[in-house]
């Protein structure tokens, strides 16, 4: 019987990716949860940006699908110390979604179905750094990983990449989100190891 | 110690409907849930014993979301990472959060009106 090498096609090259301080590499995709997983129908799904004046910009699922898609290949860094290299996503750039939004706001508070929130500067959502991601590894994004759609901001610790994203509130003043109000760092840069308040 | 949630799409779901979320997205809490895995509130005994001298799992608190009163041990606990999140078994609201990192612990109990702690007289 022939022995089929399963390593030939799938073998990864020796990693050229870099690990931020204190992190280790994983090959699986761990799931952390702060609650039960919301089951969101694409029929009623909506993504809304609300500006500091209360102006609302909303996209239904078909409207999101009609926007230009990108396929970022990015490294993920979780504050619980695992990192996963070269993850293949599909989604819409936040540059596209924020393109027509008039705002003076410097801060964003991201809201999720289920009540989760996380905060970050608006600047970190721009310039090709963030996406509303709805596909992973060629498939629809699974609910446990944040489907139908999640924010993807891979240059910050993964808790900033809010699963089950519902909308983004643009604010003139910074407002801490779910983990940021319970000890986690306001910004969360993995390269500066900003895990907890005071880091 | 982990047991599957029974409450998600149960025909006998008697939980009160969620209150509208404050803020710009009032529908964000009005969603169905898939089964999730959690532990009961006894999972908080060890982490809380690092902070408090008394065992708080038997202490009774009142949920600010639905008004239900019950012991800490009855809460549904998710985690442990990035932190422990304890939710009301009746309405799902976050009652308690505990983050342990570096040289500090952060304890948030904003989902509870007060805790009745029995003390030997
Ligand atoms: Zn409750």
Instruction: Summarize pLDDT for A110-169 with one digit per residue, the tens.
Output: 999 999 999 999 999 999 999 999 999 999 999 999 999 999 999 999 999 999 999 999
Top residue of A26, A33, A35 to mutate, by most chain B CBs within 10 Å, is A35
Q: Encoding tokens for residue A150?
A: 């999640």
- A39·B33 Cβ contact <8 A: yes
In a domain, A133, yes or no: yes
In a domain, A198, yes or no: no
List, in order, residues 6 or more apart from A40 with CB less than 8 Å away. Answer: A113, A143, A147, A148, A164, B31
List, in order, residues 6 or more apart from B53 with CB less than 8 Å away. Answer: none
Instruction: Identify any residues that bridge with B29 across adjacent strands, giving them in sequence order.
Output: none
In a domain, A90, yes or no: yes
Question: B23: buried, middle or exposed (CB in 10 Å: 19+, 13-18, 0-12)?
Answer: middle
Question: A145: buried, middle or exposed (CB in 10 Å: 19+, 13-18, 0-12)?
Answer: middle
Residue that wins the pLDDT comparison between B10 and A108: A108
Looking at residue A1, what is its pLDDT? 41
Nearest to A161 by CA among A137, A199, A190, A181: A190
Q: For residue B1, how far is the Cα from the chain centroid? A: 17
In a domain, B23, yes or no: no
Residue A10 banded pLDDT, cuts 50, 70, 90: very low
Looking at residue B16, what is its pLDDT? 65
Chain B positions in Cβ-Cβ contact with residue A36 (cut-off 8 Å): 5, 7-8, 33-36, 38, 78, 92
Looking at residue B21, what is its pLDDT? 75
Q: What is the mean pLDDT of residues A39-44?
A: 96
Concatenated DSSP letters of B17-42: PPPPPSSS-TTTT---B---EEEEGG
Measured CA to CA in angstroms, residue A52 lies from A91, A99, A105, A177 at distances of 25, 16, 7, 17
CA B121 to chain A, closest CA, distance in angstroms equals 34
Looking at residue B120, what is its pLDDT? 82
A173: CATH? 3.90.420.10
- The predicted-structure confidence for A52-104, as pLDDT tens digits, reads as follows 999 999 999 999 999 999 999 999 999 999 999 999 999 999 999 999 999 99
How far is the C-alpha of A11 from the C-alpha of B4, rounded, in Å?
36
Q: For residue B39, how far is the Cα from the chain centroid? A: 10
How far is the C-alpha of B112 from the C-alpha of B67, rounded, in Å?
9
In a domain, B26, yes or no: no
Where in the sequence is the domain holding A122, given as residue range(s)?
43-192
In a domain, A17, yes or no: no
Closest residue in chain B to residue A50, using alpha carbons only:
B24
- A179·B104 Cβ contact <8 A: no
Find the CB nearest B97 among A80, A113, A182: A182
Tell me how many domains chain A contains: 1
Q: Which residues of chain B have pLDDT under 50?
A: 1-11
Instruction: List residues, by chain if needed, whose CB lies under 5 Å from ion ligand 1.
Output: B 63, 65-66, 68, 88, 90-91, 93
- B32·A37 Cβ contact <8 A: no
In a domain, A180, yes or no: yes
Where in the sequence is the domain holding B68, given as residue range(s)?
37-121
Measured CA to CA in angstroms, residue A84 lies from A17, A77, A79, A98, A159 at distances of 10, 7, 12, 28, 14
How far, in Å, from the CA of A133 to the mean position of ligand 1?
Answer: 32
Nearest to B36 by CA among B82, B74, B81, B92: B92
How far, in Å, from the CA of B38 to the mean position of ligand 1?
Answer: 16
Measured CA to CA in angstroms, residue B85 lies from A52, A91, B15, B52 at distances of 30, 30, 19, 18
In a domain, A7, yes or no: no
Looking at residue A16, what is its pLDDT? 65
Tell me how many domains chain B contains: 1
Q: Would you say A184 and A196 are in contact if contact means Cβ atoms under 8 Å apart?
A: yes
How far, in Å, from the CA of B31 to the mean position of ligand 1?
Answer: 16
In a domain, B112, yes or no: yes
How far is the C-alpha of B92 from the C-alpha of A3, rounded, in Å?
52
Looking at residue A4, what is its pLDDT? 42
Residue with tokens 């819409």: A92
- B101·A181 Cβ contact <8 A: no
- A37·B34 Cβ contact <8 A: yes
In a domain, A2, yes or no: no
| pTM of the model as a whole | 0.89
Looking at residue B102, what is its pLDDT? 82
Q: Is the ipTM, as predicted for this complex, more than 0.90? A: no
Instruction: Identify any residues that bridge with A48 across adjacent strands, giving them in sequence order.
Output: A58, A167
In a domain, B105, yes or no: yes
């Amino acid at each position: 019987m022939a022995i089929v090498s399963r390593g030939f096609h799938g073998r990864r090259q020796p990693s050229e990716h870099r690990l931020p301080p204190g992190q280790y590499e994983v090959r699986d995709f761990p799931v952390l949860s702060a609650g039960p997983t919301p089951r969101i129908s694409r029929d009623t799904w909506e993504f809304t940006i609300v500006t500091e004046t209360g102006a609302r910009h909303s996209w239904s699922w078909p409207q999101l699908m009609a926007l230009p898609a990108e396929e970022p290949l990015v490294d993920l860094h979780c504050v619980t110390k695992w990192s996963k290299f070269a993850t293949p996503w599909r989604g819409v750039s936040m540059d596209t979604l924020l393109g027509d939004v008039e705002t003076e706001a410097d801060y964003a508070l991201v809201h999720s179905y289920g009540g989760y929130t996380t905060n970050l500067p608006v600047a970190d959502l721009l310039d090709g750094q963030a996406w509303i991601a709805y596909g992973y590894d060629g498939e629809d994004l699974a609910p446990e990983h944040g489907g139908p759609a999640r924010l993807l901001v891979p240059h910050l610790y993964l808790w900033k990449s809010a699963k089950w994203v519902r909308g983004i509130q643009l604010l003139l003043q910074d407002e801490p989100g779910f983990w940021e109000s319970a000890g986690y760092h306001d910004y969360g840069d993995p390269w500066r190891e900003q895990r907890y308040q005071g880091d | 110690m982990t047991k599957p949630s029974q409450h998600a799409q149960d025909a006998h779901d008697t939980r009160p409907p969620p209150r509208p979320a404050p803020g710009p997205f009032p529908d964000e809490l009005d969603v169905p849930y898939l089964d999730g895995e959690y532990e009961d509130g006894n999972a908080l005994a060890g982490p809380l014993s690092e902070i408090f001298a008394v065992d708080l799992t038997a202490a009774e608190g009142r949920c600010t979301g639905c008004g239900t009163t019950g012991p800490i041990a009855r809460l549904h606990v998710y985690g442990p990472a990035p932190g422990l999140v304890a939710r009301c078994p009746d309405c799902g609201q976050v009652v308690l959060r505990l983050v342990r990192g570096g040289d500090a612990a952060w304890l948030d109990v904003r989902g509870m009106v007060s805790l009745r702690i029995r003390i030997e007289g």
